[in-house]
Amino acid sequence: MLKKLKGIGLLLVANILISITLYIVFQVLANIVLPAFGIDIRGSVNEYMLLYAAVLGFGGAFISLAFSKQFARAMLDDCYQITEPKTRQEEVVFRTVHELAQRLHIQMPEVWIYNAPDPNAFATGPTKNNAMVAVSTGLLETLNEEEVRSVLAHEMGHVWNGDMFTTTVLAGLMNTFVYFIAMWVRRMFEERDQAGLGIVASIVLQIVLSILAMVVINWFSRRREFEADKFSGKAYGPAPMISALESIQRYVEAAQVEYATQDALATMKISGSAGGWMNLFATHPPIEERIAALKRLA
């Protein structure tokens, strides 16, 4: 109970500190930096607009984080939670997560298996002590036991590193600037009696800036994947994780050949790479880069 309260307290403190920081930055820019360059926005922008943008930006992000496990389960088809393993595969998954949780001195995450052919796994949850790890049936069928353990260690690395929280903070920050700039532009048009044009400009700006924000968020996500790989390498050695990635890469290549004419993006979520500029929107680095990083660790 105390750990849960501590986690909630840290979330609140972090949120408050970020809001204060944004407010200070806004005041410095509006009252010192921009006027020095002959730009005066003090008549059209105020701290209330920034506060409202922060509430929208961080509020939505943290609500998503708070209910991330429920949202994840709602997105999965034919899934079930493991509490008492009944098969060898369930035993490997459950015992691995339990062992790693004990090593890290954190509460045991919920363990779920969902029916999907893709070899995939993910972790989510608001805090280290309130997390969920899920693996697909495709992962269990594609990888051997050592490789499955290494992938689970990777996901537990995300839990231990607090990646869900830090990604949420970054998303909240990006959302705040998107809302703030959109509201600022809309207000400028309204002051010129062009409210209709202001609404259109605001919507277009939100769309464009949200896309640019996703580039930043996904870049950060790719960095965190390397850290989770490193955690797995330290837990069970780099070799099993390298082998797991190579097995997944073989699946991806076979799937791309089989489904290339049906869905060119079908395997992007596994391989982390769609090629060219689309890599900017990938949440995972190319498998080749991850394997190279693990080899350097070895």
Sort strands 79-81 and 110-114 into parallel, antiparallel or unpaired: antiparallel
Quote the tokens at residue 256: 């791309």
Sort strands 130-136 and 110-114 into parallel, antiparallel or unpaired: parallel
Distance CA 256, CA 59 (A): 39
SS3 assignment, position 114: strand
Distance CA 132, CA 97 (A): 10
Q: Is 155 a catalytic residue?
A: yes
Distance CA 276, CA 298 (A): 29
Task: Name the catalytic one among 155, 191, 225, 288.
Answer: 155
Distance CA 110, CA 205 (A): 40
153 within 8 A of 103, measured Cβ to Cβ: no
Quote the tokens at residue 11: 């979330």
Which active-site residues does the annotation give? 155
